[in-house]
Amino acid sequence: QVQLIESGGGLVQAGGSLRLSCAASGRTFSTYAMGWFRQAPGKEREFVARIRWSDGNTYYGDSVKGRFTISRSNAKNTVYVQMNSLKPEDTAVYYCNARIGGNDYWGQGTQVTVSS
């Protein structure tokens, strides 16, 4: 079993920054990648960013490229996303995702609200 615990969401003004964290615990020895998705009210879940555990390669959704940076701590089994230049359209529930042993695991979600 794998547990993902997210933290770092909140309310920020447009142009501001937030950093989200997601710590994985449990059977994490075969982690392939970890990342973030988001879902705004009335919209489908959207890919934000992913980092491959073996080599640190990163991937970003088009809407966040150049503003968000994903990183990891192998020792802590934790993934981070630094979100800069936030826009009101970044408002959403952000979900941590981990692909481990061929399975996808999800966190409970953390709310990010960007005011204009």
Distance between alpha carbon 50 and the CA centroid of its chain, in Å? Answer: 8
57-110 tens-digit pLDDT: 999 999 999 999 999 998 899 999 999 999 999 999 999 999 988 899 999 999
Tokens of 68: 């968000």
Q: Across-strand partners of 36?
A: 49, 96
11-63 tens-digit pLDDT: 999 999 999 999 999 888 788 899 999 999 999 999 999 999 989 999 999 99
Helix (H, G, I), strand (E, B) or coil at 84: coil
Distance CA 75, CA 40 (A): 32
How is 79-92 classified by DSSP, letter by letter? EEEEE-S--GGG-E
